[in-house]
Amino acid sequence: MNDKNLKHYRVFSAFFLFALFFPVFHNYFGSSGAMLVNGGLILGLVFYFLAFKRLYFNFYDENHKEIFIAVSLIFIFFILHIALSMLVGASFGGIDIIQRDLYEFHRPILYLLVFALAYTVFSRQGLILKFERLLLFAFFVLVLIGLNQYFGFYDYLSQLYTKEHNVNSRRVSAPFVNPYDYAFMMSFFILYFFLKMIYTCRFFILPLVVALIMFILPQSRSVAGTFLVGFFIVLPTVLLLLEFNLKKLVVSKKLFLFLFLMLVVSIIFVASIPYLLENFHYLTGQFVRLLEGEGIGRSGNIRLGQFLFALDKVSNNPLIMFFGNGPAKSELEYVESIYNYQFYRYGLVGFLLYFIALIGLGVYFAWRILKNIGRHHISYPFFLALLVWFLIIPLMSVGNNFTEQIRLSFFFYSMLGLLAASYSLTVFHSKRPAE
Ranking 84-93, 246-255, 326-335 by mean pLDDT, the lowest is 246-255
Positive or negative CA dihedral for 178, 180, 185, 190? Answer: positive
CA distance 396 to 162: 21
pTM: 0.93
**Per-residue confidence (pLDDT) for residue 250, from 0 to 100:** 55
CA distance 345 to 352: 13
pLDDT tens-place string over residues 395-413: 999 888 888 899 999 999 9
When pLDDT is averaged across residues 165-181 and rounded to a whole number, the result is: 94
Ranking 131-140, 256-265, 365-374 by mean pLDDT, the lowest is 256-265
Inform me whether the pLDDT recorded for 334 exceeds 90. no
Widest Cα–Cα separation across the chain: 63
Mean pLDDT of the chain: 89
When pLDDT is averaged across residues 276-298 and rounded to a whole number, the result is: 69
Partner residues linked to 251 by β-bridges: 244
Cα angle 276, 281, 286 (rounded to 5 degrees) comes to 105
Give the domain ranges of the chain: 3-237+280-428
**Per-residue confidence (pLDDT) for residue 309, from 0 to 100:** 87
Closest CA relative to residue 182, chosen from 208, 213, 152, 157: 213
Partner residues linked to 245 by β-bridges: 250
Three-state DSSP class for 23? coil
**Per-residue confidence (pLDDT) for residue 404, from 0 to 100:** 86
pLDDT tens-place string over residues 306-316: 888 888 888 87
**Do the Cβ atoms of 336 and 399 come closer than 8 Å?**
yes
Inform me whether the pLDDT recorded for 178 exceeds 70. yes
Ranking 136-140, 297-301, 350-354 by mean pLDDT, the lowest is 297-301
Inform me whether the pLDDT recorded for 431 exceeds 80. no
When pLDDT is averaged across residues 213-242 and rounded to a whole number, the result is: 92
**Per-residue confidence (pLDDT) for residue 52, from 0 to 100:** 75
**Per-residue confidence (pLDDT) for residue 399, from 0 to 100:** 81
When pLDDT is averaged across residues 179-185 and rounded to a whole number, the result is: 95
pLDDT tens-place string over residues 313-328: 888 788 999 999 999 9
Provide CB contacts within 8 A for 327, sequence distance 6+: 82, 85, 86, 100, 101, 103, 104, 345
Residue 96 Cα distances to 262, 316, 332, angstroms: 52, 16, 11
**Per-residue confidence (pLDDT) for residue 314, from 0 to 100:** 82
CA distance 391 to 326: 27
Q: What percent of the chain has pLDDT over 70?
A: 91
pLDDT tens-place string over residues 105-136: 999 999 999 999 999 999 988 899 999 999 99
Inform me whether the pLDDT recorded for 294 exceeds 80. no
Q: Which residue has the higher pLDDT, 272 or 74?
A: 74
Helix 3-21 and helix 34-51, axial crossing angle in degrees, nearest 10: 170
Helix 281-291 and helix 297-314, axial crossing angle in degrees, nearest 10: 70
Element (H, E) at 114: helix 106-121
Inform me whether the pLDDT recorded for 191 exceeds 90. yes
Inform me whether the pLDDT recorded for 3 exceeds 70. no
**Per-residue confidence (pLDDT) for residue 366, from 0 to 100:** 98
**Per-residue confidence (pLDDT) for residue 417, from 0 to 100:** 97
When pLDDT is averaged across residues 199-209 and rounded to a whole number, the result is: 91
